[in-house]
């Protein structure tokens, strides 16, 4: 029997529409092979939503996403909207959809593909074999804490305020995702905080330690965030799964991503307790190369694979996509961001065609 999935597509801004088109083609190809039907519906978010409706996250978009089986997002943002106040910027749309859909857990894998070891800015022996999963808390911490704002405390003197806060239950629920993720991977969990300075981090660490006895098979360690940043560059292979708060996770996941050579390769999953998940590349909207057929669509395509694996429970379909990505890389196809000597430089579209060809011939 054919399975039907309703997928909301959020192309967003910049290179978004180019890369999401490739992911849609890939999904359509897979669907034919595995007796799946995807019903795609596009919606507005980010700068394109601001231009069309005046808001970065129109209410209809959030409604539609909530009623889908999964959401595939490309990227948001661009120079055009940089001067707007924070609450009206494209980024507010992204934060709004994360909060509005209750997507508190952000899974960001940083896995180095053997074909791309030389694309890393670090030495081969440091990065070869790196396979890290960053589990980032996504709907709390300093991104959402109150009070927040810019206040004029005395005439002529403004004060900018954000609040880094976590409740025990927020730490517990992301902590559990961390332990469970580690359990399915290498069995090691490193919790990252700044508990030598921040009270919120002290609570974080205490709560994580309290959870540990429930996961005796997982080896738990702790690092301060500054040390974690250093260790990621010094010897990344010591890490298996990292669990951390919203801001630290934002920063560390970019650093981990760069170990793999290009942020253009990395997908991510945003999950809640129930309801649809949202899947998006870790990279941004790259306005400098938008519309030029230069973008690397692989992070978007791998996000579609994560959608199949974590959102729709279709691991066989996810495997096929991941395999096709390996095959195009083996065949030497490279977009500009991962180009190296002797490889075949292709644009976004041609990379997509190469993927489809591999998928079609591996039925």
Active site residues: 143, 194, 226, 250, 254
* Shortest distance (Å) from residue 203 CB to ligand IPM: 22
The whole-angstrom separation of Cα 257 and Cα 242 is: 13
Indicate which of ligand IPM, Mg ion, none lies near residue 314 (CB less than 5 to 8 Å, by partner kind): none
* CA nearest neighbour of 75 among 247, 306, 266, 277: 266
Q: Please, which residues have CB within 8 angstroms of residue 249's CB and are 6 or more apart in sequence? A: 106, 108, 134, 135, 136, 137, 138, 242
Q: Binding segment for ligand IPM among 24-32, 89-97, 178-186, 225-233 (CB under 6 A)? A: 89-97
Q: Binding string, 281-310, against Mg ion, x = CB under 5 A?
A: ------------------------------
Indicate which of ligand IPM, Mg ion, none lies near residue 337 (CB less than 5 to 8 Å, by partner kind): none
Q: Binding string, 92-121, against ligand IPM, x = CB under 6 A?
A: --xx--------------------------
Indicate which of Mg ion, ligand IPM, none lies near residue 91 (CB less than 5 to 8 Å, by partner kind): ligand IPM
Q: Binding string, 100-139, against Mg ion, x = CB under 5 A?
A: ----------------------------------------
Which one of residues 170, 240, 250, 280 is an interface residue with Mg ion (CB under 5 A)? 250
What does the block give as tokens for 293? 């057929």
The reply on whether position 289 binds ligand IPM by CB under 6 A is no
Q: Binding segment for Mg ion among 109-117, 204-212, 242-250, 271-279 (CB under 5 A)? A: 242-250
Which one of residues 69, 91, 170, 240 is an interface residue with ligand IPM (CB under 6 A)? 91
The whole-angstrom separation of Cα 296 and Cα 299 is: 7
CA distances from 209 to 171, 202, 216 (A): 11, 11, 12
Q: Binding segment for ligand IPM among 5-13, 28-36, 90-98, 287-295 (CB under 6 A)? A: 90-98
The reply on whether position 337 binds ligand IPM by CB under 6 A is no
Which one of residues 250, 314, 322, 337 is an interface residue with ligand IPM (CB under 6 A)? 250
Residue numbers of the site for Mg ion (CB under 5 A)?
Answer: 250
Residue numbers of the site for ligand IPM (CB under 6 A)?
Answer: 91, 94-95, 250
């Amino acid at each position: 029997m054919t399975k039907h999935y309703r997928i909301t597509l959020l192309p967003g801004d910049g290179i978004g529409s180019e890369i999401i088109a490739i992911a849609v083609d890939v999904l359509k190809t897979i669907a034919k092979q595995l007796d799946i039907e995807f019903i795609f519906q596009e919606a507005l978010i980010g700068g394109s939503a601001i231009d069309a409706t005046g808001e970065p996250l129109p209410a209809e978009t959030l409604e539609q996403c909530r009623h889908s089986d999964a959401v595939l997002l490309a990227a948001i943002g661009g120079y055009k909207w940089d001067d707007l106040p924070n609450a009206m910027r494209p980024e507010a749309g992204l934060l709004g959809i994360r909060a509005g859909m209750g997507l508190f857990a952000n899974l960001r894998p940083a896995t180095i593909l053997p074909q791309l070891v030389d694309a890393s800015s670090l030495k081969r022996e440091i990065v070869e074999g790196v396979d890290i999963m960053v589990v980032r808390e996504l709907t709390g911490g300093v991104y959402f804490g109150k009070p927040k704002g810019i206040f004029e405390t005395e005439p002529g003197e403004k004060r900018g305020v954000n609040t880094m806060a976590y409740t025990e239950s927020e730490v517990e629920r992301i902590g559990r995702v961390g332990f469970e993720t580690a359990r399915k991977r290498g069995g090691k969990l490193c919790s990252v905080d700044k508990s030598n300075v921040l009270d919120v981090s002290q609570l974080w660490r205490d709560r994580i330690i309290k959870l540990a006895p429930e996961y005796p098979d997982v080896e738990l360690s702790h690092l301060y965030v500054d040390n974690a940043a250093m260790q990621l560059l010094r010897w990344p292979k010591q890490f298996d799964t990292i669990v951390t708060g919203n801001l630290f996770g934002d920063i560390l996941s970019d650093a981990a991503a760069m170990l793999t050579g290009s942020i253009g390769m990395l997908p991510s999953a945003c999950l809640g307790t129930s309801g649809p998940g949202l899947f998006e590349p870790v990279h941004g909207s790259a306005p400098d190369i938008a519309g030029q057929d230069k973008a690397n669509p692989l992070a978007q395509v791998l996000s579609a694979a994560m959608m199949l694996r974590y959102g729709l429970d279709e691991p066989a379909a996810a495997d096929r996509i991941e395999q096709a990505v390996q095959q195009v890389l083996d065949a030497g196809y490279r977009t500009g961001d991962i180009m190296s000597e002797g490889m075949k430089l292709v644009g976004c579209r041609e990379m997509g065609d190469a993927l489809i060809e591999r998928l079609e011939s591996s039925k």
